[in-house]
Amino acid sequence: MAVDLTPAELTLLGLLVEKPRHGYQLEEVIAGRGMRDWTEIGFSSIYYLLGKLRDRDLVTETESQHSGRGKARKVYAPTPAGFQACADAAERAVAQLRPVFPPVLVGLANQPVIPPERLRQALAQRAEALAERIAIVRLTAANQLDAPGFVRAIFDYSLAQLTAEQAWLSAYRKEIE
């Protein structure tokens, strides 16, 4: 029977499958890999999600790790059921095409109510934001030289999506001028 995992739960479980970690280590990896650009995991939700995964017997607290300052930290690792749930959910996430609902499409559907000059300004603002986002993703990817191939694939996919939108936006802006 397939275990339903939210994207945030799957992300954390996947990081624990890579290697057991405590919450602060998970935060460091999430921040370092720029994962907040594609998953909704706030720092404050990490321990909440770990508790949910533990309560479902998908992770276990394996040991305490003393940080040298303050109390020991609990280290989490996947259980065999957690490893299988992660593998199954990851496979489904890769295989299944799911609809996304980007607000830009809602805006485009309603563009007749936007005065032409304001529409051009909005599109220019989006083009600038895209260029900035592409630069940030490229910089973050460049700082991941020792990252495994699956991590590089995430950056490649993100850049492909962003540059495809950038190309579409450039052509559309010319079309409406």
CATH number at residue 30: 1.10.10.10
pLDDT at 62: 80
- Average pLDDT of the segment spanning 85-97: 96
What backbone torsions phi and psi does residue 130 show, to the nearest 5 degrees?
Answer: -60, -45
Q: Which of 29, 60, 95 is the last residue of a domain?
A: 95
Q: Is residue 70 part of a domain?
A: yes
Examine the domain organization and report whether 131 and 172 are in the same domain.
Answer: yes
pLDDT at 68: 63
Examine the domain organization and report whether 91 and 111 are in the same domain.
Answer: no
Ramachandran region, residue 57 (left: φ > 0; alpha: ψ -120 to 50; beta: rest): left
Q: What percent of the chain has pLDDT over 70?
A: 95
Q: Which of 60, 95, 130 is the last residue of a domain?
A: 95
- Report the residue count for the chain: 177
pLDDT confidence band for 173 (50 / 70 / 90): very high
Under DSSP, the state recorded for 115 is -
Q: Which two tokens stand for residue 112?
A: 């007749």
Q: Print the domain residue range for 27.
A: 7-95
- Average pLDDT of the segment spanning 35-62: 92
